[in-house]
């Protein structure tokens, strides 16, 4: 059985305090201080004079695993970790890894070994958004001298229909995109085409800080004829663009049961007999809320066409005849 002499060095070095002994003691202390060193081997230790100290040639340290990692256990996004090998202070360029115990809600901080909580920023100087850090996510940060810059990819993804133009993702087909008050892309459903009861929709601004909207619009042309006769032929409008008449609203002003029969027409040639808009010449007799006419023979007015009003009969005292044509652009 071998015995170790009391006071003998565990490394098997002689007890006399020579420089070689001192150097090995320093190596032993290095071995103790560096965490997780699997192999420490020196090939040559050269003894020098006391003035020069000890020179260690070809020092080989293998399989060193020194990872500044710890798990956070906080119940909020003021993350706290305690490293086994504790840093004495924050130093610019230090990297730390930690597993977050909770997801963040907005701004978050990290406190390493009670050195003080420092803000965690993404993209160099941007405060974290909600859920940029998920519960259970391993997060890597680097201290920049003031705060921690997050190196890990953020966990949060843009919500459907809300994303900036720089990282645009596929959205729903046939939508209009605009940037909302947060700078995120927002989809606006396109409106249906015009019909006999609804005009075509046009994009309408609702204010400098409000979402746009589609507004149903019908164009209108109104003609007022004072003391109309039974044989009027009066021009109303010239259309540079094809339109479709959706309704005609008419009213008369007078006494003794006033009535005036109207037959509006259109054509590209003003001298032509014209195409009747209404399905028949119609007597206008209402003197209060007016009459709405929606039965047509030819309500589609081609491009570069004239629209005019013809009257074919009148009775009673008619002081005024008013017609309003509501139409949509084709």
- End-to-end Cα spacing for the chain: 109
Q: What's residue 226's pLDDT?
A: 97
How much of the chain is in helix, strand and coil states, percent to nearest 5?
5, 45, 50
Q: What is the mean pLDDT of residues 262-269?
A: 98
Read off the pLDDT of residues 69-103 as tens digits, 9 standing for 90 and up.
999 999 999 999 999 988 999 999 999 999 999 99
Residue 40 has pLDDT above 50, yes or no: no
Is the CB of residue 98 less than 8 Å from the CB of residue 79? yes
CA 111/CA 86 separation, integer angstroms? 12
pLDDT on residue 181? 84
Q: What is the pLDDT of residue 208?
A: 85
**Ordered domains of the chain (ranges, CATH):** 19-64 (no CATH), 69-150 (no CATH), 219-329 (2.60.120)
Instruction: Dig out the tokens for 48 from the structure.
Output: 């020098």
Please report the DSSP string for 177-195 in residue order: EEE-TTS-EEEEEPPPPP-
Residue 210: CB partners within 8 Å, gap ≥ 6? none
Strand-pair category, 108-112 with 126-127: unpaired
Tokens found for residue 89: 């202070």
- What's the whole-number average pLDDT of the chain? 82
| pLDDT score recorded for residue 29 | 46
In DSSP terms, which residues pair with 220 in a beta bridge?
Answer: 326
pLDDT score of 191 more than 80:
no
Tens-digit pLDDT profile for residues 105-122:
999 999 999 999 999 999
Q: Are strands 213-217 and 200-204 parallel, antiparallel or unpaired?
A: antiparallel
Q: What is the pLDDT of residue 329?
A: 84
CB-based contacts of 41, cutoff 8 Å, min separation 6 = 60, 62
pLDDT at 45 over 50: no
Flag whether pLDDT at 43 surpasses 50. no
| CA separation for the pair 255, 151 (Å, rounded) | 86
Instruction: Pick the closest to residue 129 from 121, 139, 118, 137 (CA basis).
Output: 121
Place of tokens 């798990």: 71
> At 26, is the secondary structure helix, strand, or coil?
helix
Task: Tell whether the model's pLDDT for residue 161 goes beyond 50.
Answer: no
| Out of 66-75, 173-182, 287-296, least confident range | 173-182
- Contact in structure between 252 and 287 (CB atoms under 8 Å): yes
CB 93 within 8 A of CB 143: yes
Angle at 88 between CA 40 and CA 76, to 5 degrees: 110
Q: What is the CA radius of gyration of the chain?
A: 45
User: Over the stretch 48-59, which tens digit does the pLDDT of each residue have?
Assistant: 444 545 555 555
pLDDT for position 203: 80
């Amino acid at each position: 059985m071998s015995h170790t002499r009391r006071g003998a060095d565990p490394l098997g070095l002689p007890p006399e305090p020579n420089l070689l002994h001192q150097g090995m003691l320093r190596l032993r202390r290095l071995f103790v201080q560096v965490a997780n060193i699997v192999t420490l081997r020196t090939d040559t230790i050269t003894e020098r004079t006391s003035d020069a100290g000890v020179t260690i040639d070809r020092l080989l340290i293998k399989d060193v695993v020194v990872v500044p990692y710890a798990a956070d256990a906080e119940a909020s996004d003021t993350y706290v970790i305690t490293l086994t090998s504790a840093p004495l202070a924050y130093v610019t360029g230090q990297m730390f890894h930690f597993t977050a115990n909770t997801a963040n809600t907005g701004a978050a901080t990290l406190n390493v070994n009670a050195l003080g909580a420092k803000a965690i920023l993404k993209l160099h100087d941007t405060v974290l958004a909600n859920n940029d850090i998920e519960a259970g996510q391993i997060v890597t940060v680097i201290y920049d001298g003031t705060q921690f810059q997050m190196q890990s990819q953020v966990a949060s993804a843009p919500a459907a229909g809300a994303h900036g133009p720089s990282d645009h993702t596929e959205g729903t087909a046939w939508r209009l995109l605009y940037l909302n008050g947060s700078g995120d892309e927002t989809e606006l459903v396109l409106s249906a085409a015009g019909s006999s009861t609804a005009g075509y929709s046009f994009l309408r601004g609702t204010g400098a800080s409000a979402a746009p909207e589609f507004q149903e619009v019908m164009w209108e042309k109104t003609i007022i004829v004072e003391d109309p006769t039974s044989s009027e032929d009066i021009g109303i409008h010239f259309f540079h663009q094809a339109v479709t008449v959706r309704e005609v609203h008419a009213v008369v002003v007078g006494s003794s049961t006033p009535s005036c029969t109207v037959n509006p027409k259109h054509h590209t040639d003003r001298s032509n007999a014209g195409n009747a808009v209404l399905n028949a010449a119609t007597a206008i007799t209402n003197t209060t809320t007016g009459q709405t006419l929606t039965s047509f023979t030819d309500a589609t007015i081609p491009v570069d066409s004239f629209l005019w009003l013809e009257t074919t009969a009148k009775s009673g005292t008619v002081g005024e005849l008013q017609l309003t044509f509501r139409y949509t652009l084709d």
